[in-house]
Chains A and B, each alone.
Chain A
Amino acid sequence: GQNIDQPTEMTATEGAIVQINCTYQTSGFNGLFWYQQHAGEAPTFLSYNVLDGLEEKGRFSSFLSRSKGYSYLLLKELQMKDSASYLCAPLDSNYQLIWGAGTKLIIKP
């Protein structure tokens, strides 16, 4: 079956760095997305990885290891507005997004 595993909740301090891990098992693989979702709002695109390695985009970076079925999202210089859920979503062989339930990130002053 297809499965996404990411922590339910994490807490971090404003200005710090946090890493949100995601492991996945899918039928085939065509890349992996990370989305940010603030409470009561729709998801917004953060990153897409299809090759192994680290992709950096400002304060946010995303890493992928296809052989390990593993990805992480790294958030630097945390701000209060980064309090949100972060959803890991790999694409399977049919180009269907397989969504995780998300990691709720709580930022404390």
Chain B
Amino acid sequence: DAMVIQNPRYQVTQFGKPVTLSCSQTLNHNVMYWYQQKSSQAPKLLFHYYDKDFNNEADTPDNFQSRRPNTSFCFLDIRSPGLGDAAMYLCATSSNRGSNEKLFFGSGTQLSVL
């Protein structure tokens, strides 16, 4: 089945130790998104790629970076994780940007920072 896959499902890192989260998709969608979601809060958009065009949200900290080496893969790099970065990180895709383009989410990576 075509899908969005995130690895790992759970990630534990140490304060200040760089960590990379990965996402892959077999849907051949043009748009890929990274969201951060903390408990009982709305998902917060960090970045999105429309094909190779990178879009950084204005309030995304510099500590967060992203790479999309090809259509299928997208990575989220957290250069120096702090305790406040502990959250669920959700990767999502959509076929294009537009009115009725629903998002397909991966299962998420729950990040813990010790």
Number of interface residues of B (CB under 8 A): 22
Please determine whether B42 and A101 come into contact, CB atoms closer than 8 angstroms: yes
Which residue of A is nearest B48, CB measured? A96
- Grouping DSSP codes into helix (H, G, I), strand (E, B) and loop, the A interface class, with mixed when no group exceeds half, is loop
| A18-26, A40-48, A59-67, A74-82: which lies at the interface | A40-48
Please determine whether B99 and A45 come into contact, CB atoms closer than 8 angstroms: no
Please determine whether B105 and A99 come into contact, CB atoms closer than 8 angstroms: no
Please determine whether A102 and B97 come into contact, CB atoms closer than 8 angstroms: no
A42 and B90 contact, Cβ closer than 8 Å, known pairs A101-B42, A102-B42: yes
A42 and B98 contact, Cβ closer than 8 Å, known pairs A96-B45, A102-B42: no
A99 touches which of B43, B88, B100, B104 (Cβ 8 Å): B43
Q: Mark B40-55, 1 if CB is under 8 A from A, else 0.
A: 1111110000000000
Report Cα–Cα, A50/B40, bound state, in Å. 27
Query: 28 A-B pairs, CB-CB below 8 angstroms?
Result: A8-B40, A31-B100, A40-B88, A40-B110, A41-B107, A41-B108, A42-B105, A42-B107, A42-B108, A43-B43, A43-B90, A43-B103, A43-B105, A44-B105, A45-B102, A50-B99, A50-B100, A87-B43, A91-B99, A95-B97, A95-B98, A95-B101, A96-B45, A97-B45, A97-B103, A99-B44, A101-B40, A101-B41
Contact surface of A with B, Cβ cutoff 8 Å: 4, 8, 30-31, 33, 35, 40-45, 48, 50, 87, 91, 95-97, 99-102, 104
Known: A99-B42, A100-B42, A102-B40. 16 other contacts (CB 8 A): A31-B100, A35-B103, A40-B88, A41-B107, A42-B105, A42-B106, A42-B108, A43-B103, A44-B105, A50-B100, A87-B43, A91-B99, A95-B97, A96-B45, A97-B45, A102-B42
